[in-house]
Structure formats: structure tokens, C-alpha cells
Structure 1
Amino acid sequence: MPTTKALLIPDCFTYMIKQHNFQTAGTYESYINHRIIPALGHTVLSSLTPILLQNYVNELHDEGLAGSTITKIYNIMKSSLDYAVNMELLPSNPIKTIQLPSVKKKKDNVWEVAEMKTFLNTAKQDRFYLAFHLTIMTGMWRGEILGLRWRDVDLEKGVLYVRQTLSKDGKQFLTGAKTNSGIRGITLPEETLSALQSQKVSIAKEKLKCGPVYLDNDLVVCTTKGTPVNPNNLKRTFLRLVKEAGVAAIRFHDLRHSHVTMLLAKGVHAKVISERLGHSNIKTTLDIYSHVLPSMQEEAANQIDAFAKSN
């Protein structure tokens, strides 16, 4: 890397994104190209000041960007400028002293158990039924489900293993999971095992029907020709089925949140939920779902009260 301090901000990002996997690097490049470079791309590194960066972040907030998006942009810039400091291109990181705008955390939209059942009943005959079923029953990410292979499913033991994901654009399989802790085993309920067995039979019939033109990727959820399902197609099907089922409109990702809320309501320990979701530690799970816990506390108090009155 050049040692001149006249480098522009984009030069710094080039080296930073190379350190990440395909999917993460693609996300970073999108934020860099569409958010950071248009505003700061012509700024020389040595000209960066805390006030300049503070004003930039404040403008993102005033523009109405979500708090999570602003935080991602901040983290990208911080990591890049940390790298510049390590390479002695800057004496210190000017972004470390700025304050991120205070943003209220939005409450996740989730389905009650009855809504999950209604939706699954409506989706029963749809080709992508198993994808929706797995999300609700396991809390897996969309990319994990679309990258799931039969070799990673043990029907006898009732466990599936997350070892491959499909990229967000649906064009590439990525070895591993979204994070290192995301590589995990998930124990499955009997209903899910039954759904998987039915899916296996259906795919075997499709292979036979297509013959040599079938592209066998060993996928659990795939097209009629064995190719990966485009994530956007799955999303469109989900939105259509939500309307047909007459349930509350939520995002596909909210199925994951609904899974967690259901487990918490059933009294499942947060450590177990953390492992199923592939979180690095239980703190991550508690931080994300802290808004659910007050209602759990109230229910616990009601149960204790009922116990006390029964004696």
C-alpha cells in the first residue's frame, strides 16, 4: 500500500474490503459506493476531522436512514480508518470521537402461533412451503435455507447442519455460514422431519422427470430443475401468500423473530435459542430480543401469583 498521506478515502476502503468474504465485501462495497464516496470520496485522508465526520453522520440521520444502517456505515469507516492508522497514514482515527445519533430501536413485527399456523396451512401446496416451514421452525436465515443440502440433513438423528449459504443475489454458494458461530446443528421437531421426507420424495420425482437436464446441486429447496431459488422470487412468493392467508404483513426475516418469540413464550432457555440462531454468545440474543422479555417477566409474575393464591 502506498505510504503517502495524500491518499483519498476510497483507497483505504479498497484494502479493507479484501479482508472479508464475498457476501460481506459485496455489502460493504454497496455502502461505500452509494453512501460514503458520493459525500466524502474526494476528501484526502489527512484532511479528515471529527467535526467533518460528525456532520456527515448527522446528515445521514436527517435524511431518515435507519439507525442500523448508520451504524453499519460508521463501522465500515472506522475499520477502514483504523487500518490507515496501522499503516501510519493517519496519526489517529478521527471518527472515534464522534457521537452516533440516538435512535429508538424499532420493535420487531412478529406473528402469534395462530398466525404461523394459518400461514403455513395456506402455503401448504406452494413449491416453497418447506422454506417457510424451516424458517418458522428453526429460525434459519433465508440464505442458509436456500443453501441447505441433503448431505447436511440427518433424518435419522433429526438434525440439520448449517454448512453452506446462498449469496443474497442467488448467484453463488458460500461455504460456512454468515458468521463462524453460524456453522451449527439444529435439532428438528417431528413435523419438520416429515416435511423434509416429503420434499425428498418430490425432488426424486422431479429428477426422474427432467432426466439429464436436471442440475443436481443436492439442494433441499430448489427449482424444478435443481437450480438455486432466487431469493427475490422467494420473497415475492412470501408476500403473495401473506395476503392470501390474511395474516399481518411482516418481512420474511421477521419469521426468524417470530420463531424466537415463540420459543421464549414457551420458556425455552435463551442459551438454547442462541445456539439455534447461530449467535456468537447469549448476550447477542438477549440484546436483540430484550423487548420481548418484559412480557415474559409479566407472565412469570402472573404464574407466581397464581401459585401463591392456590396455597
Structure 2
Amino acid sequence: MGNTQLSKLTPVLLQSYVNDLVEDGLASGTIKKLNNILKSALDHAVNMELLPSNPIVKVQLPKITKKEMKVWQMEEMNQFLQVAIKHRFYPAFHLALTTGMRRGEILGLRWKDVDLEKGILYVHQTLSGDGKYFLNGAKTEAGVRSIKLANESILILKKQKRLLAKEKLACGRAYSDYDLVVCTSIGTPVNPNNLKKTYHKLIKEAAVPLIRFHDLRHTHATLLLSQGVHVKVISERLGHSNIKTTMDIYSHILPNMQEDAANKIDILLTNTK
């Protein structure tokens, strides 16, 4: 909302902002803290007679409850990708599921931050929730990170780069070159709401359970955990500030991993007899 004039802040606009935070997967407690900061700032604006009243007092916040995490199983993920592969935004969905990147990180990713030879991408820029401006860095300091790409991801990105080169050539001067990996046919940033609409449409077509776009990030993490990937590696891929954050979020998966560990110990002991 940084580009919005103070006098044009309305309850509808602020409610839309809160709704976007919910869609982005922020915890209800975090949203409440952000709301308190805004309320304090706007209260001061009222005291300075810059506003007749505080528009944020009419905004409804999400209830502070711990949501049950919804993720796809491997079969559901592959089913969705098979349907989504025909769509322009396929690279965005693929990256969400194979790297755990946030929506804004994917839509802000530039080619200069992708090393296809080494198979590594770097998160250095994000697109705002309304799709109107870019932010340097990431959600947290740890969010500025490097992520190793799967071979399939490298192939998809190479194909995407060829497609965008053709579109840029066809558009000529009409092309707006933001150096984006995921963009419109004229090079401009993809509106997050348009990505969301496409995502929901493809979910129905693929006949898989409805989960938020942010839950693709959770799907990535839970699938890696189920494959025995170390939690520290997953924490680094997700850009968490510390491993404890990752452990707290995905603690529901750990009991199954404990059982698997116990079974492997039994196998080892059996083989030594």
C-alpha cells in the first residue's frame, strides 16, 4: 500500500490487503501484528487531523487458530502438473512445487538470478501482493537464498527462456523487458490474482483437492521430509530464519519419520546377527 495516498485508504482497500496476507499463508498472529502497526500509524494520522477517522477499525481479521495444513500427495502433485503443463503459468506452478518458493518470489524471479549451467537460482527480488511493484530481498533476511534446481526444472526453464525470446522478438518495441522468468506475453509482471484464478481453474480440471497456492510450498517440504531429506536442507530451501521454524511447522510429519527410523534400526540389528 506504499503507493496509496493516505486520504484514499478505505476499509475495502485495507480488507483486501488483509485478505491477500491470508492468501499468502501468513499466520493469523502475524497478520494481527501487522494490523496493529497500521492501526497505530493511522491513529496518529487521525490525531494530526490528516484523516477524519481510522478506516482500519472496520477491517475483520482472521481468527487466531492454527490451520490444519493441506498438502498434495505425490500422485496428486503429478496429476496437477500433467494438466498445468499446457498453460503459460506452468513454470510458476512447477517452481512452487519443486523449490518451495513463495508466490511473490516466483513472480519476481529474474533471469539474471538464474544460473542454468550450475542449476541454481537466487532469490533476490519479490513481487508485491498487488503486483504493482518489486521489493528487493525476500520476506526475511534468510529468504535471500540460493536453491538448487532439479534437472527437470532446468529443462523447463530453458524452454521458458526460448519462448520469451520469441515473444520479445515478435512484440518489438511494445515489449516491456523486466527480465522476468514468469511474465505476460508482453513482458510485464503477472498479476497475482490472475495466477490465483488460473491455479483454481487447473485444480478443478485436474480433479485434485483444493489447496492454497502457498500450500504448494508446504507440499514441497512434506514430500522432501517423507523422502528422508535432512530438515536443515529443507529449512535452507524454504528460506526459514532457523531450523526451529521448520521443525515447528512440520512437526506433524516427524512421528512417522521416527517410526521409519526405528524400523531401519531393527533392520540394521537383524543384519548384524
TM-score bin, normalised by smaller chain: 0.7 to 0.9
The runs of 5 or more residues in structure 2 that have no matched partner are 16-25, 41-62
- Is 1:183 aligned with 2:139? no
Question: Which protein, 1 or 2, shows the higher relative CO under an 8 Å CA cutoff with sep ≥ 6?
Answer: 2
> What residue is the counterpart of 1:239 in the other structure?
200
- Is 1:158 aligned with 2:143? no
Partner amino acid, structure 2, of 1:187 = K
Partner amino acid, structure 2, of 1:244 = E
Q: Please state how far the C-alpha of 1:72 moved relative to its aligned partner.
A: 3.5
Partners of 1:176 and 1:308 lie apart in 2 by 49
Structure 2 SS opposite 1:196 = helix
The 1:124–1:73 alpha-carbon spacing in structure 2 relative to 1, beyond 3 Å, is: same
The 1:74–1:127 alpha-carbon spacing in structure 2 relative to 1, beyond 3 Å, is: closer
> What residue is the counterpart of 1:215 in the other structure?
176
The 1:110–1:30 alpha-carbon spacing in structure 2 relative to 1, beyond 3 Å, is: farther
TM-score under structure 1 length normalisation: 0.69
Match of 1:136 among 72, 97, 104: 97
Count of matched residue pairs: 238
Partners of 2:263 and 2:68 lie apart in 1 by 24
Q: Please state how far the C-alpha of 1:297 moved relative to its aligned partner.
A: 1.7
Partners of 1:78 and 1:218 lie apart in 2 by 34
The runs of 5 or more residues in structure 1 that have no matched partner are 1-20, 36-66, 82-101
TM-score under structure 2 length normalisation: 0.78
Q: Please state how far the C-alpha of 1:129 moved relative to its aligned partner.
A: 0.2
Partner amino acid, structure 1, of 2:28 = T
**What pairs with 1:267-306 in structure 2 (closer than 5 Å)?**
267-306=228-267
Match of 2:32 among 65, 73, 79: 73
Question: Deviating runs (4+, > 3 A) in structure 1?
Answer: 74-81, 302-311
Partner amino acid, structure 2, of 1:69 = S
Structure 1 residues 145-198: Cα deviation after superposition (integer angstroms, max 9, x where no partner):
000000000001110000000000000011111111110000101000000000
The 1:74–1:158 alpha-carbon spacing in structure 2 relative to 1, beyond 3 Å, is: closer
Q: How well do the aligned residues superpose, as a CA RMSD in angstroms?
A: 2.9
Partners of 1:74 and 1:225 lie apart in 2 by 38
Match of 1:196 among 124, 144, 157: 157
The 1:166–1:292 alpha-carbon spacing in structure 2 relative to 1, beyond 3 Å, is: same
Partners of 2:139 and 2:238 lie apart in 1 by 11
